[in-house]
Amino acid sequence: MSTVTDSLVIARRNLIRMSRIPEMILFGVIQPVMFVVLFSFVFGGSMTIGGTTDPVVYREFLMAGIFAQTVTFATAGAGAGIADDMHKGLIDRFRSLPMARGAVLTGRTLADLVQTALTVVVLTIVALLVGWRIHEGVPKALGAFGLLLLLGYAFSWIGALIGLSVRTPEAATSGGLIWLFPVTFISIAFVDSAQMASWLQPIAEWNPFSATVQACRVLFGNPGVSTSEAWPMQHPVWASILWSVLIVVVFRTLSVRKYRRADG
């Protein structure tokens, strides 16, 4: 319980900091909105989904990928924030306090999760305005959003490890984005894997990111659900949960170990 309490205290500290720097939230919202508008209206009429190039169909196909991309791109900000705290000597300040060592990282990732949830709410409103709809009811849609936030929380631990491994916030931002681009684009987020090169298809289908995108399309009832025989594509909800939990377990362990070493 002390670990939980310490983590919540650190999360509150980070949320207060975010509220005092509103541009952090503003810029985090603008980027995914730009992706929605650009992909919907620039590429919407040239993508074939389910045998049609109807831009409305592509917008519904696209949104699960944009949602997933949004929650994962928050990883770069999480890593930069932790690197900034490290650079400013936050560890030295907490070292003298009787608190759980892992609470600093857990609190930070929880605060980032709250910010990500706010971004998803705004993005959902924009998606509805451009024509996206859910077709399987509110309970399943809430389940899809839950999977998205779980994926974002899992990836934030990767960002935490990157933030602890570099010397400056700038390096953390760059390092946090480099690996995200292949993860998000070698997936079924923006095109069907059947349209990819044969050697890329299994990579895209077993990508943890793709599992969540597929699960969201199924739960939202959106078009373009992959017909691949790969296990994650046939059981996307379970695959999404298993991938996310595995990432949390592995990267939280590595991050806390790295933090303790930095802590001396």
* Domain range summary for the chain, segments of one domain joined by +: 2-262
**Residue 174, CA distances (Å) to 79, 125, 154, 171 in order:** 10, 30, 19, 5
Across 4-18, b (16+ Cβ under 10 Å) vs e yields eebbeebbeebbeeb
Angle between helices 22-42 and 2-20 (to 10 degrees): 80
Kindly report the pTM of this predicted structure.
Answer: 0.89
Mean pLDDT of 195-218: 93
User: Is residue 208 a contact partner of residue 107, using CB atoms and an 8 Å limit?
Assistant: no
Rounded to the nearest integer, the mean pLDDT of the chain is: 85
| pLDDT value at 183 more than 80 | yes
Mean predicted confidence (pLDDT) in 20-30? 75
Lowest mean pLDDT among 52-61, 131-140, 243-252: 52-61
Higher local confidence (pLDDT), 146 or 172 = 146
pLDDT at residue 61 greater than cutoff 90: no
**pLDDT at site 16:** 86
pLDDT of residue 231: 94
Q: Per-residue pLDDT for 176 more than 90?
A: no
Residue 3: other Cβ atoms inside 10 A = 13
69-121 pLDDT, tens digit per residue, is 989 987 877 787 778 777 777 766 776 777 777 788 888 888 889 988 988 99
The pLDDT assigned to 221 comes to 92
Give the pLDDT mean for 200-206. 93
Q: Give pairs for 15-20: CB < 8 Å, separation 24+.
A: 15/111, 15/114, 18/111, 18/115
